[in-house]
Amino acid sequence: MSLGHMQGIDLLMAKHLYGSGLRLMECVCLRIRDLDFEYKLIYVRAAKGDKYLFPESLHPIMKSQVKAVEKLHQKNLAHGYGEVYLPGAIVRKYPNAAKSFGWQYVFLSKIRSTDPRSGKTRRHHVLESGARSARFEGFLHWPLLAGG
């Protein structure tokens, strides 16, 4: 599979895997606050590499994605939702962070789901298993990405 056969979120994620060098889960778990358009960097917390180049060629489409996430976030907040999962230490330090726009995922799930631990209904990021499906099958095995 090539980039030419992908579209939508799949294409955008694939471009990040290829252009930024992000690992799949790093891409899936990106949050709005991780994108730095000014310095052209993507920050990945709790990972081996804490900064990745953010190709300028992806800025326009990513700005559109961020606007789409913001619109959905505002709609979710208006309906009593809009929280994302955050690690406990962050929730204790910043009690309102879970509803903050900056903590929202860049690549959102299409549906909200109930967190079995807290019972809260939230919108999570897209599933890694979905990204590992046939959509990315050929792309993830390109020799360039596999280091060969």
Q: What is the pLDDT of residues 51-64, one digit of tens each?
A: 899 999 999 999 99
pLDDT at 10: 81
pTM of the model: 0.82
Q: Taking a C-beta distance cutoff of 8 angstroms, is the pair 123, 81 a contact?
A: yes
Judge whether residue 148 has pLDDT over 50.
no
Judge whether residue 128 has pLDDT over 70.
no
pLDDT at 141: 46
Q: What is the pLDDT of residues 79-115, one digit of tens each?
A: 999 999 988 788 899 989 999 999 999 999 888 989 8
Full residue range of the structural domain in which residue 7 is found: 3-146
pLDDT at 110: 87
C-alpha distances (whole Å) from 73 to each of 30, 88, 100 are: 15, 22, 9
pLDDT at 123: 86
pLDDT at 126: 84
Counting the structural domains of the chain, the total is 1
pLDDT at 135: 52
Q: Taking a C-beta distance cutoff of 8 angstroms, is the pair 58, 15 a contact?
A: yes
pLDDT at 50: 82
For residues 125 and 69, what is the distance between their CA atoms, to the nearest angstrom?
11
Q: What is the pLDDT of residues 4-29, one digit of tens each?
A: 667 788 888 888 888 888 888 889 99
Judge whether residue 131 has pLDDT over 90.
no
Q: What is the pLDDT of residues 25-42, one digit of tens each?
A: 889 999 999 999 999 999
Task: Check residues 136 and 34 and name the one with the higher pLDDT.
Answer: 34
Three-state secondary structure along the chain?
CCHHHCCHHHHHHHHHHHHHCCCHHHHHCCEHHHEECCCCEEECCCCCCCEEECCHHHHHHHHHHHHHHHHHHHHHHHCCCCCCCCCHHHHHHCCCHHHCHHHCECCEEEEEEECCCCCCEEEEECCHHHHCCHHHHHHHCCHHHHCC
